Every structure is written in structure tokens, then in C-alpha cells.
Structure 1
Amino acid sequence: MRQERRQGVEIHRIEMPTPLAIGSVNAFLIVEGDERILVDCGPRHEATQTALLSGLQQFGLNPEDVTGLVLTHGHVDHVGLARLFQSHGVPIYSHPDVNTWLNPDGEWVNYRQDFYHRLYRECGLPTEVLGRTLQEYSIYHSLNDRSVVDVHLEDGKTFPVLPRFRVIYVPGHAQAALALFDEENGDLIVGDQLLPRVSSNALIEPRLDAQSGSEAERTKSLLQYRENLQTLRTYPIRRVHPGHGETFEDVHALIDQRLTDQETRKARFLRLLQDSQPCTAFELATAFFPRHSHQTSLILSETLGYLDWLSADGSVMSSAGDDGIVRWSTV
């Protein structure tokens, strides 16, 4: 348990173990006046729940004593225990599109499965890898207990019950993602958009504004992520409270480093493609990340992000063969 006390407000970090490769995840308890706002809650997992409840009990709180639950984004390591609080009447606040993760209906589940099946086929995944990668999503769903967002938070508006905090939409790591910025103290609770030790993965998702079954457009997540980091760079942020890892300062220096590292990685992707073209996104991903070839969905998101960037500046091109597989080459 780590805590930060600032003028009139306290922010307490509750670190929880998870069964996922990412390791531990953070929840944050914001205390101001009579308000006890929890930000994120971890996956539905026994050890996670035990750690979360223990953390709350250090402040004499049970789930029903929390006055609101904010979800920074819909990934299961941040939302799986939301129903534990909602069942006690605790209102859930989040981006409106987080509902597609919290309580997906059959149409949405099929839509997402069709999207990834088509995408991974286009990327050239072998049949056995494709099946294994799609199975990951079923595992993630098992760590989520269905709930629903009660209050939709709008970009740029103040948080209803703690008006010192402003809501900032932060697309990139996830499409439906937000941060809370304390305009008085400069604290930013940011989910996974900015992490202290590793660069966040800008995950490829189907566009939420263009649902059309298996033909849905995908996001250009890395380009969105870079744009959002540049936007966050303009805020007077003093401290970041991330979804994973410890609270950190020197925020603007870290943002600059992330942007510079991405420029370097972009150049490496271009050189690799020049040496191996034409190739599929899967071939490029496994060549660039040989030690992480088992994390197919993550390395494909990273690779497609850089291919989008290189395509946008005219350095690479793609074409689909008769087999439906897309191959990339330099211009």
C-alpha cells in the first residue's frame, strides 16, 4: 500500500497480483471529504480480490463503503471485479464504450471474433497459431464478471463527484480509455496509457464507430497513441499513477523518451522489412520479436502499428494475394 497526500485529497495505491503475464495491477483509492472513489479493480481472480479487499480494509472500508468506481479502460485486468462493487450499489463511471467489454452481447462477441479472425488471416498466421491466439480471448472473458457502466464520463468535463479532477480521453493502448487529472495538484491517474518501466502496447482493435461485422475497420492505434502522448505532454502533470508499477514523476521527460524510442523502433522495422520483403505482418513480427513469438496478439499489434506509421509517411506499401494474405514491402 502506497499513499500520496496532497492538498485536501489523498491517493492510495493498492497493488494486486493477477494470473496474467503482465503481473500485478494497481487500483487507486481517492479520498476527499466523504468521497471514497476507487479507480480500477483488477480481474476476477481469488488472489486479486483478496489483495483488493485487504487494501480497502486498511482504511476501514468494505466494497459497499466505496462511493464510486471509475474504470480507466475495459481490459480485463482492470475491470473484472467491477460487479463485486456494483452488486453493493456502487455506481460505475467510465467511457461509454467500456460497456462493450464489461457486458458484451452475443452480437458484439461475434463481431469482435470475426474481426480478429479476418485480421489474423490477413496477417498470415498459420492455422494452429490462429486458433491458439483466438482462444486467448475466451480466457480473458473468464476473468470478467459482467457489469455495466452507470455514468458515462465525457472528455474534457470535470468528474461529477470530485470536480478537481478532469476527465481526459486517452485512446491508444485501448480505444475506450480515460484518465483523471487533478488540476490543483498535477496528479494524473492514467491506466495503462503511460507506464514507468515499459512502453505501453497500442493494441489493435475494431473501430467502435464503424461496426460492420467481419468487414469492420481496424484502428490505427500506434498513431493514435503518439498523438495522445503529445497531447498529454501539454498538461502540467507532476505525478503519474499508472495501471502497473509505481507512481512516478519526471513525466514530460518520460513522454519524450517514449516518443524518441518509437522513432528508433520505426527505423528498425523499416530496415528489417528492406532485408526480408515482401513479407507478412506475422513474419515481420516474429523476426522482430523472436523471444516473444508466443505472444502473438501483442507483437502483431506492435508490428501493425509501425507498418501503419511507415505506410502513412509513404515508406511501405501492402498488397493482398489471391490467398487473402497481405504482404508488405518498401516503396
Structure 2
Amino acid sequence: MATTPTHLPVPSEKPQDLKFNAGKIDEFVTSMGWTYTDRFGNKHYTIEGINYLAQQVMSAFGYVTLAGVNFTTGAVINNPNEVLLDVSTGEYYKWTGSFASGAKVVSANSTPSSTGGIGPGKWLGVGDASLRSDLTETTKIFNTFSAVNSSNISTLFGCIITKGRLAIGDGGDGIYVRNGSGSAGDTDGGSYFVTAGRAKFELVSPATIATFGGVPGQDYRSALDKQKTYVSTKDKVIRVFTKNVVSPTFTPEIPAGYWNGFTLDVGENVTINTINTINTINTINTGSDEAVKSPLVKLVRPVKLFFTGNSTGYLLRPNAGITKVNILC
């Protein structure tokens, strides 16, 4: 049975908090997911998440040419922003495959095709012109995602960091790296944007509902729909986190089956408001409650629901169903 921690201030020496945190240490060290959630509902990076993020950001900072080695002499690639020369063509290549098991070893007298292949997840040519340009890339920090969309961003920047969605610290912060080009002004509202100079920046940090505008005073349902579309091609984890205790109301209401096939990761400080009620035989009517009740939905932790129809709170727990509780909203 999962341990339910307290919300006592840090540091807490309560046994249940110590046991809960022991599990979180294991999650931080061994999980292949990018984030874990602490006992207050706040998310943090796991080692895997830190490694992934570091690789993406290193790539955005520009390329490092490996001196004195090439595909003919053989080499060891330790980082995703290191590039290796193919002397037969004069082209530089970067390794876009995994570094999870260690460095990429290139044997002597190799070619990109013979030591991993060419293409996404393999060797990609960066070209001399691209290399000269990308060597000057730097990072720029914006206070909000909204500020990014209204700014002219120099082509020299390869990484954009935002501190919030509409305000600093509202939970909509993110890290974006340049990846290709697109139509100026194009964006899905959170996971990517295209500058006036047609440079496309894509999100590399985990997406939450706040990433797509789900912050107090805004349209939570629209943000939820955008997040669902984005994660459907990623890890299929819908993260509903906020920096402060909040009870988001989703209008129109979330339909039954909406979450099917996804993992629902709701912060402990979040209560989902829904208009439905419990009927006289204590079963659930259709809507938001049915959406999370389905066995096709995975829950990271219990989800708090508040039915405005009868002003009653309920708690949905993994493998335990839904029970009436006292929830202040």
C-alpha cells in the first residue's frame, strides 16, 4: 500500500514522511521517467530527466569539434554536442543516439554509415556552414512564454528558458531548444514556437497543464486539451500541477473516456472541480469523474474531486475506487 505523507513543513521527522521520501529517493535514482513528485505535489527532475535535459541543452549551446581525431583515426564521443569529421567528405557529424550505456566509441577506419548509420537517432551531418553558425549559439531567458512570442529573437540564440506562462513562478516555466525552422509566429501554445526569423524552438522540459496556459484565471480545459495532444506522442502522462493550492474548473466538462490510455499525474495540492453528483445508490454519473474512474486510466497518486452539484468532495485512489471525503475548496 502506498504511503500517504503529511504536509508538515520541511524538515519533517514523521515516520510516514521518512518512508515516503525513501521511496522518492529510489524513484529519483532508478526511474526512467523525467520527473518525480514530492509530498507537497511539486515536481522535480530525476537523474534520467537531468541527463536528458543536459544533453538537450548542451546541444543547444553549440558544437564542440574534436581535435586530432576523426572517423579514420577513431574517436570517443562523450557528449551530444561533440562533432566528428569524416575526412573523405569533409562533413562533420554529431551522434544523436543514446548515451545511456556510456560514450559512443568510433573504431578506426570507420564511416558514419558503418558505425551506427545516418539518420535520426544515429549520425546527423551538421555541415561546415551550420557548424560555424552554431558555434556562436547562446541561451536567452524570458520572464514568460507570452514575452517570448512578442519578442524578436536573434538567430544566435539556440536555447530559450522561460520562468513562467503569464507570470514568473506560475508553473508554466520551460526550456526550449532550437530545432529546424517553420512559419513565423506558428505555435501550439506551449510545446513549440517559431520566431519572426522562422527559427523553431521546441520544449525539452516536461510539460504540465500550466505549460499550455492552465494557470489561475485562464481556460483550464483548453490548456488540458492542448497538453493531451502534445503528450499523446510523448510519454502519455498528463500532468496537472500548480504552484499554489488551486481548484481548476474544466468547462466544458471532461467527458468519460477522455483519459483512457493516459497516465494522470495530479498534484496533491490540486482538486479537480466537476459539476457531477453522486446518485442515491452511490455510483458515479458520467463526466469528469467517470473519465478518471476508468480502469484504462493510470493514476500516479490519489486524485481529489469536488462535485459542485452536491458540494461534496471525493477521493479517487488507484485500485481502490472512489470514496467520499472532506475536501475544502
Q: TM-score range by the shorter chain?
A: under 0.3
Higher helix fraction (1 or 2): 1
Q: TM-score, normalised by structure 1?
A: 0.27
Normalising by the residue count of structure 2, what TM-score does the alignment of the two structures yield?
0.27
